[in-house]
A and B are shown apart, each in its own frame.
Chain A
């Protein structure tokens, strides 16, 4: 037997993330005692219509989320209990909603910081309806072997250590969530464990008091003794003493009350719980409470540490008088084990996983990202720059100072070439059409291809091919004409021998001023001599120059278009921002810019 929560308890949880966490803990308990999950529904209006996933063993249960309690109980008529995890400002309304549902008989509120008046209103409403309102600030309720409501009992290992998989003989009522586990643990170590443990919460005026639960425990034949954990403030312990002393009770009562230290502390001091505050004229002091309980016949040890031996003595007496027959404990092997997560299994070396993807350049599992093994902050603090990061992530090497300078110049030279080139134009059109930055910039980047900035990789590939195969320029041009087509990196729409490209001159001049070998650039310039002699605009263009230089400093061919894409992204973001700043209007092409070569207007023939 048990009180409040048992095998038939079916739950709706009102609340978001905290409620889901509770459901997960409850599922662990259900799994331990080999029963289905007792949470049937969630109520959380922002997520209504969606579902929450709750791990159960190695599986995953899908629990629906509803807008209101009535909706939840209509869909799951077996629900009889609600746990409230709604924030303090809306907790009262949520609790009332649950109490007013005809199917819900028990409402336990976990929310902390609920105003006193709200708690009192909820308590009074519950009494009027003949229902139970537990909390606020309740850690939960657990009936050994039957039902866990909330996170009471702690982690799975602790549930097992405290023998919560089977019923004992001790009831527990506590104001302190933190001490609930302690008492359950003591009951399982010094006696045969618990029937039901209830956290009533540490607020000044909890919805339900010790007496209401003592009455229920008295009616539960399995419960032979009850441990109450009290504290100074209020008069709940005195009322419990009054109840216990009023007539002969079947259950034994053990109690501890905290707050003796108050006698030597500044008056009016606040302790951990809202309710732990001595009233005027010494009412509600730990001493007054302990004395009242003792006088009523309860066993009240001097310190908390002495509670264990007191429980032990009580248990031994119960066994001696035959009221309790000791039960054998299950061996841990007979209990289900909570499945390990893959991460835990890997940590202990029990599981091997074939990775889905492989990466060789970066790792952000530590406190900051590492690029090819170098921490980003270390690079910054030692003066490294963007070209070094490019070197690490694109070619897995730390480029030299000279190489970094070349890369920097390439990026600067190709960052933007005005609004008329296809990439910029596309971004501008997109910006004017109200398209967001990432999509507009992506649209511009899509323009990069064989006719716009996308020849870098191909130019690099073929210059490299020629140099590796020691081709002469004539052999190369013949090969290209036969097998490939126009030479990538050669030719410009606007620039020509007479109208040279300053960017190319700049880059070539700088690289040539360095004492480095440039076989690919040299070859490309030789090619240019021949092609530009044939036709004025068949000059070495920016793509071709970048390609030759980058191959010279060793960048892999696959990465080369990346330099243009990266550099030009700077310009495209600039164009998008520029259009937004001007609040540019939508672009529509003028009719005169289009040659309407379509057929003239004619009548459509009748449909056959």
Chain B
């Protein structure tokens, strides 16, 4: 999945005929001033300014301001840009037109195993969460398109009547068209509002999750994807992502501040079991990491350096199952080079390293790891006869 920020998300909805408020995304006050001169609506309408970042609870943080005039919006932009929230620096602000309205509704399309569900409710905003039973659903098989009748029936079930039911059905149809054509996995508009002057339904907000795997058929996806977990990627994470995008196979790395057990396992499946074992034994994860698909040794070396530079770690778990075709000797070569570099830089003092692995050239790889003992590493090496996650038990019970 790939999360898309509000601006590009609304851009996609607009492309499929959904009315959205006028908006601009600015990265500087100068840019705001220029756009304010060029856009009539910025002078005429009341405005909303929001920090345009992958941040949760922006309202509470004061990063959403409503009912502004152009001067007020400029002040809000000035205030928000450059603000530091955790690891995120606000670098963009989205300024949009306020749409006067009385009622708020809800519409969404989500991917299901069989196809997609269209969700509609005649309440909106935070009210939806509290009244989930008022959300009505139309399930569609993949490849199928909703008929106008089915959409209208859905709107009526959700409590819309008269011309509004028709409008809501049309809105949901457009949202589905956007979902289906843009390879979305989740689209949510909350709230949908009826504009006071002409009664047209307008999307006031957009949550957009796209299928990043489908990027090859969407040359117009010219926006970056945002981190999905409420914070921006760290420098180390971005560096590993940059390596990941260049190689055959993959390397992944996510930092978790405050942990003391660092993960350096192989395989998308096994890495999660290793992480689980740490949590199950009462350990604190310092990161999530993984390499797989026989990546080049230099990429594994970069990953190792990042893992070794995590602050305050006591154990490093070099776990792995029995590989199908990842060359154990070669990938371990990258890990060993990374360990040596880290040690030379004075890292790894008092850090215990735990290794368990099998697969092509397992003996050579494990022997090379074992030899690190002679170089003064506190390393413990096990082969396929030791059950997968037992090294975590040993590390955290401080046995051996």
Contact = CB atoms under 8 A, between A and B. Distances in A.
Contacts of A179: 267, 269-270, 273, 321
B324 A269 contact: no
Interface in A326-358: none
B227 to A, nearest CB: 8
A151 to B, nearest CB: 5
Give the residue among B113, B180, B288, B393 with the most A Cβ atoms within 10 A.
B113
Interface string A248-292: 000000001011110111111111111011000000001000000
A235 B111 CA distance: 13
A178 B292 contact: yes
Interface in B105-125: 111, 113-115
Given A121-B143, A182-B270, A271-B268, A88 B230 contact: no
B142 A202 contact: no
B384 A261 contact: no
Given A260-B279, A269-B229, A272-B252, A116 B272 contact: no
Interface string A447-481: 00000000000000000000000000000000000
B268 A202 contact: yes
A259 B392 CA distance: 16
Interface stretch (A152-160, A163-171, A390-398, A532-540): A152-160
A363 interface: no
Nearest to A236: B113
B365 interface: no
Contacts, number: 191
A205 interface: yes
Given A178-B266, A263-B279, A124 B142 contact: yes
Given A121-B142, A154-B360, A178-B323, A303 B269 contact: no
B228 A270 contact: yes
Contacts of B228: 268-270
Interface residues of B, number: 59
A84 to B, nearest CB: 15
A588 interface: no
Given A124-B143, A179-B270, A185 B384 contact: yes
B183 A117 contact: yes
A277 B273 contact: no
B43 to A, nearest CB: 39
Contacts of A235: 113
Interface in A102-157: 113-118, 120-121, 124, 139, 151-155
A374 interface: no
A115 B358 contact: no
Given A178-B267, A266-B256, A268-B228, A303 B113 contact: no
B273 A271 contact: no
Contacts of A174: 269
Contacts of A231: 269, 272
A178 B229 CA distance: 26
Contacts of B393: 305
Contact of A264 (B141, B279, B290): B279
Contacts of B285: 261, 264-265
Interface string A229-253: 1010011000000000000000000
Contact of A151 (B141, B183, B325): B325
Interface stretch (B22-30, B164-172, B211-219, B301-309): B211-219
Contacts of A118: 214
A178 B270 contact: yes
Given A181-B321, A261-B279, A308 B387 contact: yes
B146 interface: no
A385 interface: no
A304 B388 contact: yes
A264 B229 CA distance: 13
A202 B268 CA distance: 9
A308 B387 CA distance: 7
B389 interface: yes
Given A89-B217, A268-B230, A305-B389, A155 B272 contact: no
Interface in B268-314: 268-273, 275-280, 284-285, 288, 290, 292
Contacts of A273: 268-269
A118 B280 CA distance: 37
Contacts of B321: 178-179, 181-182
A176 B269 contact: yes
A286 B322 contact: no
Interface in B332-387: 358-360, 384-385, 387
Nearest to A161: B384
A265 B288 contact: yes
A117 B214 contact: yes
B231 interface: yes
B1 interface: yes
A154 B322 contact: yes
B213 A114 contact: yes
B177 interface: no
A256 B141 CA distance: 31
B389 A120 contact: no
A266 B230 contact: yes
Nearest to A176: B269
B390 interface: yes
A155 to B, nearest CB: 5
Contacts of A120: 113-115, 142
A269 B230 CA distance: 9
Contacts of B213: 88, 113-116, 274
B185 interface: yes
B300 to A, nearest CB: 15
Interface string A411-453: 0000000000000000000000000000000000000000000
B74 to A, nearest CB: 33
Contacts of B388: 182, 304-305, 307
Contacts of B323: 154, 178, 181
A274 B115 CA distance: 17
A302 interface: yes
A272 B322 contact: no
Contacts of A139: 324
A177 B277 contact: no
Contacts of A308: 387
Given A114-B213, A270-B228, A271-B268, A303 B276 contact: yes
Interface in A63-79: none
Given A258-B276, A261-B275, A181 B229 contact: no
B254 interface: yes
A175 interface: yes
A118 B211 CA distance: 11
Given A265-B285, A271-B288, A304 B359 contact: no
B185 A116 contact: yes
Contacts of B267: 176-179, 272
Given A229-B269, A306-B387, 20 more contacts: A88-B216, A124-B114, A151-B324, A154-B324, A176-B268, A176-B270, A179-B269, A179-B321, A265-B288, A268-B228, A268-B230, A271-B288, A271-B290, A272-B267, A273-B268, A274-B1, A274-B213, A305-B388, A305-B393, A308-B387
18 contacts: A113-B213, A116-B211, A116-B213, A117-B180, A124-B114, A124-B143, A155-B360, A158-B359, A176-B270, A178-B320, A178-B321, A204-B185, A261-B275, A273-B269, A276-B272, A304-B273, A305-B390, A307-B387
Interface of B: 1, 111, 113-115, 141-143, 180, 183, 185, 211, 213-214, 216-217, 228-231, 252, 254, 256, 266-273, 275-280, 284-285, 288, 290, 292, 320-325, 358-360, 384-385, 387-390, 392-393
5 cross-chain pairs, A with B, having the tightest CB-CB distances, nearest first: A272-B268, A176-B269, A178-B267, A182-B321, A115-B214
